[in-house]
Amino acid sequence: MDTRWKPNVTVAAVIERAGQFLLVEEQTEQGLRLNNPAGHLDCGESPAQACVRETLEETAYGFTPRALVGIYLSRQQSCGGHDTTYLRFAFCGELGAHEPDRVLDTGIVRALWLTADEIRASSARHRSPLVLQCLEDYLTGQRYPLDLVHTESSVYV
């Protein structure tokens, strides 16, 4: 039987404050890993809306996307034999209010702030090579307007 291959669509936030970047430490099949605040696109939302939701759920911080840093395609094979391709939309923007009493998503151990050098030095602990790629693209000034990604109104019905 023929099946159509489809990548998993994900979003990620690159958030800087005073020279540090917001990451999450999360429990994975490979142990504790570092990641951007990130997650899957849900039905009925645009990629930017998904990024706002995922950032809040994983870090307890509000987030307002202001630009698209990049669109990334990555394939990962887990030790369990899963072969998954991800299509990631990475956004940068403004940090919002912190909700310190908010319970973080399942699997998220904590949110933490690291410098670019600390992130580079911890690459062996990254959930994906895209953590560093998104950071480096952000640091080189790579920015695209949000309206580059058009979400047609039928998505919201």
Mean pLDDT value of segment 130-153 = 97
- Residue 79 tokens read as 């030790």
Do residues 15 and 37 make contact, with C-beta atoms less than 8 angstroms apart?
yes
Q: Measuring CA to CA, how many Å separate 34 from each of 38, 142, 154? A: 11, 22, 35
Domains, in order of start, for the chain:
8-147 (3.90.79.10)
Per-residue pLDDT, 3:
82
Which runs of E-coded beta strand occur in 29-138?
A: 31-35, 38-40, 61-77, 83-98, 108-115
43-52 tens-digit pLDDT: 999 999 999 9
Per-residue pLDDT, 33:
98
Task: Using the predicted structure, report yes or no on whether residue 127 has a pLDDT greater than 80.
Answer: yes
